[in-house]
Amino acid sequence: MKIIKILKYVLILAVSVSVLLTVIFYISTEYKMYDLKANQKNYSQNIWEINTDSLAESLISKMTLEEKIDQMYGEKMIFSIPKFIGSYLFKDRFAHIYVGKNERLNIPPWVLSDGPRGARVLDKKINAVTTFPVAMARAASWDTNLENKVHKVIAKEMRANKTNYAATPCINLLRHPGWGRAQETYGEDPWLLGEFGLAAVKGIESHNVMACPKHFALNSVENSRWVIDVLIDERALREVYLPHFKKVIQKGKPASIMSAYNKVRGTYSGSNKELLTEILRDDWGFEGFISTDWMYGLYDGIEGIKAGLNVEMPWQDEYSYNTIKEGIEEKKISENDIDKLVLNTLKTRLKYAFAYDSIDYPHSIILDSSHINLAAKVAEESMVLIKNKNNVLPFNKIFGSKIGIVGRLANEINTGDLGSSNSKPPYVITPFEGLKLYHKSLNNEVLLIDESNVEEIRNVSKSVEQMIVVVGYTYEDEGEYILSRSEMVKSAEANELIGVKGIGGDRVNLRLKPEDEKLIDEVSQLNDNVVVVYVGGSAIDMSPWEDKVNAILFSWYSGMEGGNSLAKILYGDVNPSGKLPFTIAKNQYDYPYFNPYTDSITYEYYHGYTLFEKFNKEIAYPFGYGKSYTDFKYSNLKIEKNKILDSTLVVNVDIMNIGNFAGKEITQLYIGFKNSKIDRPIKLLRDFKKNFLDIGERKTINLSVNINDLKWYNKKSRKWEIEDIEYEIYVGGSSKEKDLLSSKFRLSQHIQHNTF
């Protein structure tokens, strides 16, 4: 009898689970897809000629309070959770979440897609998209035109996948290289971050996709991201952690911005009035809409409304009808507050829904050969040659020879984190495959060595012409960190990891894995022609092994074409031209204090090269550093006509390619503040350009700096101020003093006449 009873329960349970899974399967695969553009049939004039600002105002006047609230969250949980889970479970894809649809008033919805390295949300008939090298790699190219092109492609592929809101670029500053999501951003320097963020936003918006720079603000510790409180002084905030956001907002005018998970000075970013209203809207004039980061982005609906947060993502939770209605009844907020928030959103998004599209976005544009070629080009431009003793590289192209390749990552599909920045390529050329393809025409044999077979490693290393050792990380070692919030709280409160670490997250130790270091050690003793290829998203500590090898190349997570680009660089078909977007310390503990498990951290004024220079700390490799197969000589640094035109200081410098390879050089301009009467960095990056120079070619390069970009933030007067001092100007191939020419200038006249 008892057995029958148990069987009955098991049966009921099995039937319920199957019904549930079937429902989830059905919802996730059959969910309705909506058009994101306004329907021309509803209007008598061309939709792109309609004044969408007036339309937004009139639509709001027709909305009930509930309809207004419906503009303030992603989807209702009951629809989106099964769709979301099912899409992951059954289709390994990220679902379309339709936000703000109102059929009565003909308002089309908008749909978010992540996409730091390729469109994330895929149309139901699409299985793959173009996958680029990660953002940190692209930053190492120092080529903002390329970044703009990358985002034009990502935006086109997003449109073809029926999405129109890009949760990218990520422009959080790399305060410490151990940050788990370092690969998603553009490095340690606010200027570089701002220029890259701007190029990305302009690229995205050129296809009527709403850009959403993220995460606002101070989000650069991963393992405590849902709980950490970032404490910061006003000057560090304004001068170091926000300038890139300000530039991207004011010059790029993105449709939106995403708040961060962390607290800033005691208040969660999603309901932080100082950040969202006082700085973003009142100081910087932001006119778009603010959405939360997902899941734990908002804890109190009323506080969110008071702070000026427009949209809660991805589903309705704190912005519930009851919370808002009660808030209005209890006079904590007013309906006018709601109107203002909805108006920001509607005005912005209707512009895109009604905009004229100069092209169609059929599925056939996805993975166009020009997109794939661009992914290859970006990988070529971004790899950084760190060391090349005795000119080991480029390797000789010997016909009929044997080449060895070894390492955990030598034949691994490894395009970076599998969290929200994931992108699905149709194929990935691994380092081994790239080399094999490259050597086919040379009739060479590329031997993939099993890294666990010591005997084989020894034998092959001794006998081959060249050895390539591929080491570094995967999504398991660094990336987005997902676990329950309560688990995160436990570790943060204890100031150490409680329980099992899990996948991704921050790197506490910057050294490679012991097995990687051991492998390098082993191979380097047996062969002189060894190159260590590092795959990862940020700085590492190479001190235990860098003296043992002659050549080191940072190849990053190099996208779907990375293996081909790697082969071209190793054999000199492409001359490496990337430079580091961060400083590599000599001693990894010289970076600012970093603890992934904490509920509070202070971000100081100095980090990156400003820290190492100010406090005379020795470094291994400077910010802006990268070798080439050729050499460049700088001369004739001149401040143009010794005068400042239109508040801009123009500088000329000559560069000559004095080596035997054609190549590209990234020229950097820094302004020095040694004479400052206040505490300021030794110098700051203010311009850069990448130029191609043929063998023996000489070019005069123009660089410039706007006088406003010399200012500092006076927290007493709460104003940006300029100092009447003699400034230094440095121009050259890296941030290291010996790589820079220098000159001096004063601005007294301009300051007195207020001509800037």
Q: Which residues are near ligand BGC by CB under 6 A?
A: 114, 167, 214, 293-294, 420
Of the pair 289, 545, the CB lying nearest ligand BGC is at 289
Of the pair 120, 627, the CB lying nearest ligand BGC is at 120
Contacts of residue 296, defined as CB under 8 A and 6 or more positions apart, other chains included, come to 226, 261, 485
- Per this entry, what is the length of the chain? 756
Least Å distance, CB 94 to ligand BGC, is 7
Least Å distance, CB 447 to ligand BGC, is 41
Helices and strands, number each (H, E), in the chain: 21, 29
Of the pair 229, 293, the CB lying nearest ligand BGC is at 293
DSSP 465-482: SEEEEEEE--TTTSB---
For residues 630 and 663, is the Cβ–Cβ distance under 8 A? yes
Task: Establish whether the linkage from the previous residue to 96 is cis, with ω within 30° of 0.
Answer: no
Least Å distance, CB 258 to ligand BGC, is 6
Least Å distance, CB 260 to ligand BGC, is 8
In angstroms, the Cα distances linking 234 to 484, 660, 676 are 32, 50, 19
Please state, as a whole number, how many other Cβ atoms lie within 10 Å of the Cβ of residue 461: 20
Q: Where are the beta strands (DSSP E) in 295-381?
A: 312-315
Locate 516 and state its tokens.
């990687």
Least Å distance, CB 436 to ligand BGC, is 35
CA distance 288 to 278: 15
Of the pair 221, 379, the CB lying nearest ligand BGC is at 221
Least Å distance, CB 135 to ligand BGC, is 12
DSSP 382-425: H-EEEEEGGG-PSPP--TT-EEEEESTTTT----S--STT----
CA distance 206 to 182: 26
CA distance 36 to 354: 9
CA distance 488 to 227: 7
Least Å distance, CB 261 to ligand BGC, is 7
| Residue number of the CB atom closest to ligand BGC | 420
Of the pair 97, 655, the CB lying nearest ligand BGC is at 97
Contacts of residue 65, defined as CB under 8 A and 6 or more positions apart, other chains included, come to 324, 325, 328, 335, 338
Least Å distance, CB 420 to ligand BGC, is 3
Please state, as a whole number, how many other Cβ atoms lie within 10 Å of the Cβ of residue 381: 22
What's 643's DSSP letter?
A: S
For residues 262 and 255, is the Cβ–Cβ distance under 8 A? no
Of the pair 382, 422, the CB lying nearest ligand BGC is at 422
In angstroms, the Cα distances linking 22 to 77, 78, 92, 302 are 18, 16, 16, 38
Of the pair 197, 434, the CB lying nearest ligand BGC is at 197
Of the pair 114, 195, the CB lying nearest ligand BGC is at 114
Of the pair 120, 439, the CB lying nearest ligand BGC is at 120
Least Å distance, CB 596 to ligand BGC, is 16
Least Å distance, CB 113 to ligand BGC, is 9
Of the pair 286, 294, the CB lying nearest ligand BGC is at 294
CA distance 723 to 714: 11
In angstroms, the Cα distances linking 585 to 234, 262, 294, 388, 538 are 27, 27, 34, 19, 12
* First-to-last C-alpha distance (Å) of the chain: 91
Locate 674 and state its tokens.
């040694």
Least Å distance, CB 114 to ligand BGC, is 5
Least Å distance, CB 76 to ligand BGC, is 18
